[in-house]
């Protein structure tokens, strides 16, 4: 992997201190900027139009372009509760060997001071994460062949093996479920990581034609991922293996929009000694159920190649609008 120098001061950067999502939303709402469009007031002979406010292409909420960091996150029972998954713009849920599950958090709008627990990368991540062009990837390690694939990809792969100073072991839980990463250290090392940009998602009002839905589960064999609509919180609350998915801050995890994306999962070329490791096919097309506002919408997902983002299209040919906020994508084998 080629290393690069940190960006110049002209490039958007963030501090390493944690930003509270609640404080951010309340502050934006108080100033009248939350989800605001172009503001313009006309006076005779005077043009006072202001530029349209920038929004995150990952959440649809106000945010300036910023470097993209992907973090592979452990989801075994010993890894729970998680730390700062709630601050991710997007959360991917993947099936790994033995029918277990793992998470990938995508961070750009907010950068907490620590994330974890962190676990190993898989072969398909090299293809999947190029959706974000050249993001930084933090992970605990990988098989030699997988590391070589990541090295040859455009991704800035920084693991506990090749950049240990960005990682630490916690004392309150046993290894391997106790590895945490300093995200700012990763982005400082991956100085030319791509800034947040369009990956095919669209945000807007809920369309017509949804099916009222209270909950949905995806079963991987030995792991189950569930989401249940909360009208009170206006989001989908997640569960892992039948138990609420919690943050170390005491907040239940979940997203405003949840995508259950049906994909092929053939065996990977790099196998666990005792269990089949799947390769999750994120290039192609297929069915996806998009959950938002207590309703389910049947859509078609499409990604033409590893350099493209993924689009979600309604039966009428229109893009499926997501509810602004954190999005979860749960891969389900078709």
Q: Record the tokens describing residue 43, joined without a space.
A: 């006076």
Given a cut of 70, is residue 23 above it in pLDDT? no
Based on the structure, what is the number of domains in the chain? 1
Close Cβ partners of 137 (under 8 Å, ≥ 6 residues apart):
69, 70, 71, 72, 121, 125, 129, 150, 155, 156, 157, 158
Most confident of 7-11, 269-273, 278-282: 278-282
For residues 134-144, average pLDDT: 94
Handedness of CA 252, 125, 179, 187 (dihedral sign): negative
Residue that the structure tokens 């694939």 belong to:
149
CB 235 within 8 A of CB 256: yes
Confidence grade of residue 33 (pLDDT, cut at 50, 70, 90): very low
Give the Cα separation of 310 and 322 in Å (integer).
Answer: 13
What pLDDT digit, counting tens, does each position of 278-296 carry?
A: 999 999 999 999 999 999 9
276 within a domain of the structure (yes/no): yes
9 within a domain of the structure (yes/no): no
21 within a domain of the structure (yes/no): no
Domain of residue 211, CATH code: 3.50.90.10
Q: What are phi and psi of 184, to 5 degrees?
A: -65, -40
Q: Which residue has the higher pLDDT, 142 or 81?
A: 81
222 within a domain of the structure (yes/no): yes
Q: Percent of the chain, pLDDT > 70?
A: 84
217 within a domain of the structure (yes/no): yes
Q: Which domain holds residue 100?
A: 65-334
7 within a domain of the structure (yes/no): no
12 within a domain of the structure (yes/no): no
Give the Cα separation of 35 and 8 in Å (integer).
Answer: 29
């Amino acid at each position: 992997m080629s290393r690069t120098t940190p960006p110049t001061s002209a490039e958007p950067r963030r501090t390493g201190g944690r930003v509270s999502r609640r404080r951010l939303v309340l502050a934006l709402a108080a100033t009248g900027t939350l989800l605001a469009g172009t503001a313009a007031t006309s006076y005779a002979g005077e043009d006072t139009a202001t530029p349209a406010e920038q929004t995150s292409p990952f959440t649809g909420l106000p945010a300036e372009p910023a470097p993209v960091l992907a973090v592979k996150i452990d989801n075994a029972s010993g890894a729970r509760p998680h730390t700062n998954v709630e601050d991710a713009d997007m959360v991917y849920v993947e099936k790994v060997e033995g029918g277990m599950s793992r998470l990938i958090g995508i961070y750009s709008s907010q950068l907490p001071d620590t994330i974890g627990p962190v676990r190993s990368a898989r072969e398909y991540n090299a293809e999947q994460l190029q959706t974000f062009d050249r993001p930084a990837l933090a992970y605990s390690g990988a098989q030699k062949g997988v590391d070589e694939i990541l090295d040859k990809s455009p991704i800035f792969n920084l693991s506990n093996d090749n950049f240990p100073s960005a990682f630490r072991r916690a004392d309150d839980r046993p290894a391997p479920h106790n590895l945490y990463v300093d995200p700012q250290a990763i982005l400082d090392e991956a100085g030319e990581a791509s800034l947040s940009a369009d990956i095919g998602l669209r945000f807007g009002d809920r369309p017509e034609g949804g099916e009222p839905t209270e909950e949905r589960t995806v079963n991987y064999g030995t792991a189950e991922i569930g989401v249940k609509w909360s009208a009170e919180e206006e989001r989908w609350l997640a569960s892992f293996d039948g138990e609420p998915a919690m943050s170390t801050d005491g907040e239940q995890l979940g997203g405003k929009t949840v995508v259950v994306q049906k994909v092929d999962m053939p065996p990977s070329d790099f196998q666990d000694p005792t269990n089949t490791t799947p390769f999750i096919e994120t290039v192609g097309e297929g069915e996806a159920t998009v959950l938002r506002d207590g309703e389910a919408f049947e859509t078609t997902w499409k990604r033409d190649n590893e350099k493209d983002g993924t689009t979600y299209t309604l039966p009428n040919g229109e893009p499926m609008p997501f509810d602004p906020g954190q999005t979860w994508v749960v891969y389900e084998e078709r």
